[in-house]
Amino acid sequence: MKKHILNHKFLLFLSIIAVIIISLVEAYQAILFQTVIDTATGTLQLEFSNLFLYVMLFLLAVFISETFSKTSNAALNASVMKDYKQSIINSFLGNNNQSRLTSSELISTLDNDVKIIENNYLNSLISMTKDIFLFIISLFLLFRINVTLTLSILVLGWIPVVVPQLFTKKNQLLKERYLGKVEVFVNQVKEIAQGFEVIKGFNIENKILNKFSNINEEAEQSKFKSDAFTGFQGAISISSGFLMFFINLLVAAYFVIQGDITLGQMIAAVQLMNYIVNPLISISKYLTNIRSVTRIISTINEKVLDNKGESSQETKEFTFDRNLRINELSYSYNNRDKVISNINYIFEKGKKYAIVGESGCGKSTLLKILMKQINDYQGQISIDDINIKSFDAKSYYSKVALIHQNVFVFKDTFKNNICLYNEFSDEKIKNTIIQSGLTKTMNIHNAGLDTLVGEGHVELSGGELNRLSIARALIKDVEILLVDEATSALDKVMAYDIEKTILGLDSTIIAITHRIDDNILKNYDEILVMKDGEIVESGKLQKLITNKGYFYDMYSNALLSLGEKELVGGV
């Protein structure tokens, strides 16, 4: 955070100058009081018109300094917070998949946490700077009026500063607890928005409403506790401030009775006392605020800003001429149960590979590893003998793509969704559309490539989404295309169609499929059969059938269930 503030040195300088001017103007108010009262009581000989002029000048100074201060503070605030939010998003996108925040954590960080930081850190810091100057200037002026009175204020002035600090830890804890509840709340709201159709379709509105009501209640309760405790801490602070103020007022009154100071000086001293006591109280409040957000700031630093994700050894440009080799690959999500267990395999460039196996045997995990989304595995994966960990991420992802069922659509045009904001020639785009089978879709919509798609616009069908993801991979000429059951949500005819498109590509294809179906599997050069994280068989379809091994069992079961379905259909 400090770094982001110091990035705007000029605005910071302006803000500091502004608060110094404001402090001087405010402190001058005490002198003005003294002048008016001493003139009124006859202690000072001054023309009334002069008094009027001083007051007018004072008002003008207040107006100018307040405007200057508020504008420069707002400009500093806007610039620092813009930078801070930008760097959070930059780091979020710069981190690898494993180290990133969840979407709810990110939304909550950028919305709620950032607002708290702005209010409790940045604004507190600026206001505290102003109070420190006001304190120093007032102290100086008060010294000139009466030294004993000043010393008395200096001794007793610490009461309202120190006492509230005793409650800071608890305040901090309550604020953090509240933030945790807000994160749960955001997550729930997101689930309601995203799961709208499931909620309505399965008639679970009441259950979800109950869940939301509990989460909402908990979030508001914890906000109430945090606000109430902050209020209690504030009350302690204000009461101790008053205690100190009245003791010093009595001391000032004593000096007037003794004739050591004039009435005007006493009024000025009272005003200056305010400018000493109030900043002391406020400074303690600002310090509490700043401390309560420092933990939030360090969490953001730890989770996002300091987490560089990609390692510095990733420097090599991606090249792929011969093969992709997996050597003794093992992986476990929890450091206990192996999801991938000692896999050895060589994928030849340009060939088409299908991966089959029961649900949960580790197929998707293997693709995630190949996609460099998981990096803490054992063993080695290399392309033409270069460890994939040494490839520069940008270069790697320009040539390796993963497509799966969940195709994210940006609320934007077809063109931007296919090109993903990169520039390609019209011819390239046209060819991509033809190859990925999107021509019919383009023709349906009058605006063609400029048709707006995504939530609230044209919503794409399952098949169109698959074709969109194929188009995204095709347009950047990917060399390795990983396919994670892209067609499992589609009907048989549509699935064949998409599989045909994928198999017609020049890239090396490694595709997970659930369909144990001759018409699909016969088109692959090799079928990898996975069981409990291992590749237990591999080869062409016919070889696997003849082997009568694990694949044959799966194949026979698939045929059996297909036959049963046809039987049921025929009855």
Ligand X SMILES: Nc1ncnc2c1ncn2[C@@H]1O[C@H](COP(=O)(O)OP(=O)(O)OP(=O)(O)O)[C@@H](O)[C@H]1O
Footprint on this chain of ligand X (rule: CB under 6 A):
333, 339, 357, 359-365
Which residue, 357 or 463, has its beta carbon nearer to ligand X? 357
Q: Nearest-CA neighbor of 164 among 240, 248, 227, 223?
A: 240
Q: Which is nearer to ligand X, 149 or 366 (CB)?
A: 366
Comparison of 276 and 361: residue with beta carbon closer to ligand X: 361
3-state secondary structure of 540: coil
Give min distance, CB of 529 to ligand X, in A. Answer: 12
Based on CB atoms, which residue is closest to ligand X, 4 or 363? 363
Which pair of tokens denotes residue 213? 């009501």
**Nearer CB in complex with ligand X: 48/333:** 333
- What is the closest distance, in whole angstroms, from the C-beta atom of residue 520 to ligand X in the complex? 16
Cβ neighbours, 10 Å, residue 271: 21
CA dihedral angle for residue 231, residue 237, residue 243, residue 247, rounded to 10 degrees:
-150
Q: CB 167 → ligand X: shortest distance, Å?
A: 41
Nearer to ligand X, 140 or 333 (CB): 333
Q: Are 340 and 366 contacting, i.e. CB atoms less than 8 angstroms apart? A: yes
Identify the CA nearest to 439 among candidates 447, 430, 451, 450.
430
Within 8 A by CB and 6+ apart from 307, the residues are 91, 95, 99
d(CA 470, CA 406): 13
Q: Parallel, antiparallel, or unpaired for β 323-331 and 378-383?
A: antiparallel
Instruction: Give me the least distance between CB of 483 and ligand X, in Å please.
Output: 12
> In the bound complex, what is the minimum distance in angstroms from residue 522's beta carbon to ligand X?
21
**Least distance to ligand X from the beta carbon of 235, Å?**
48
Alpha-carbon distances, residue 349 vs 49, 222, 319, 355, 391 (angstroms) = 95, 58, 11, 16, 18
Rounded to a whole number of angstroms, the minimum distance from the CB of residue 453 to ligand X is: 27
Q: Are 239 and 163 in contact (CB under 8 A)?
A: no
Identify which of residues 100 and 415 has a Cβ nearer to ligand X in the complex.
100
Contact 535, 362 (CB under 8 A): no
Q: Give the Cα separation of 305 and 311 in Å (integer).
A: 15
Residues with Cβ < 8 Å from 452, sequence gap 6 or more?
411, 412, 413, 458
153/401 with CB nearer ligand X: 401
Least Cβ distance, residue 20 to ligand X (angstroms): 55
Minimal distance in Å, beta carbon 362 to ligand X?
Answer: 4
Residue with Cβ nearer ligand X (404 or 430): 404
